[in-house]
Amino acid sequence: MRGVGENGQLEVQPGKPALAQWLQDMDEILPVEPVILWGHSWGALQVLLFAKQHPQRVSKLILSNPVDPALRSLTRIEQKRFNHPDSQPHLTLDDMGTAAEELYVLRSKIASYFADAQQGWAYAQHFDKQDVNNRLNIRIWNEYRDALLKQPDITRLANRISGVIYCEDDVLQPENYAEYRKLLPQQEKHHVLKGCAHFPWEENARDYFKVLFTLVSD
């Protein structure tokens, strides 16, 4: 996604919605033939938006711990995140308002999406300041709210949605599961895993990839 992480050097053009630019980038980069798209968390909404615009370009959609289209799963997300104080804090009073504090806050937030504190903090060490763009993040959510996916959109894409994978301890639960069950009433499309929160490929890789590969190959 331009403007974030390794794509941070790609300019977000003024005067055009950033979300539209992200979808245009997908249009230009993806092969012409129908592809399988996997979308995790926010990414689930992004692949659904792409499929809505270009249904002929998508053969399958796999949604992983997805944010629901109406954003109901985000309502209390700050309260639902796991509180994991760092067992070895490295900040001092002199770090207040500095880049060191900014990095600590970012990694603390990443860790809070894990049920296990040690695993969360270890995973968070892979992230740096370039991996987040708060201003762009707010802009994207606001732009999505102006073009919310609705029930008819999901209904039209239902035959392309191979399945939805959830984690029992995910911070988006139980709202995202309840919402997608209403949008996709077919029981066989829904797969709830135990022993994981928001990052199942780290927390329960065996069960996650077993379901994922089945959805890809079916």
Percent of the chain with pLDDT over 90: 80
The one-character DSSP state at 38 is E
Interval 173-218: pLDDT, tens: 999 999 999 999 999 999 999 999 999 999 999 999 999 999 999 7
The pLDDT tens digits for 1-38 are: 899 888 988 999 999 999 999 999 999 999 989 999 99
Instruction: Determine the Cα–Cα distance for residues 134 and 132; give it in Å rounded to an integer.
Output: 6
Query: How far apart, in whole angstroms, are the C-alpha atoms of residue 75 and residue 39?
Result: 21
**pTM of the predicted protein model:** 0.93
Q: Is the pLDDT of residue 91 over 80?
A: no
Instruction: Say if domain 5-77+133-217 classifies as CATH 3.40.50.1820.
Output: yes
82, 72, 104: which is closest to 172 by C-alpha?
72
Is 90 exceeded by the pLDDT of residue 77?
Answer: yes
What are the structure tokens assigned to 118, written together? 């040690």
Domain ranges of the chain: 5-77+133-217
Geometric angle at alpha carbon 102, from 96 and 108, rounded to 5°: 110
User: How high is the pLDDT of residue 88?
Assistant: 67
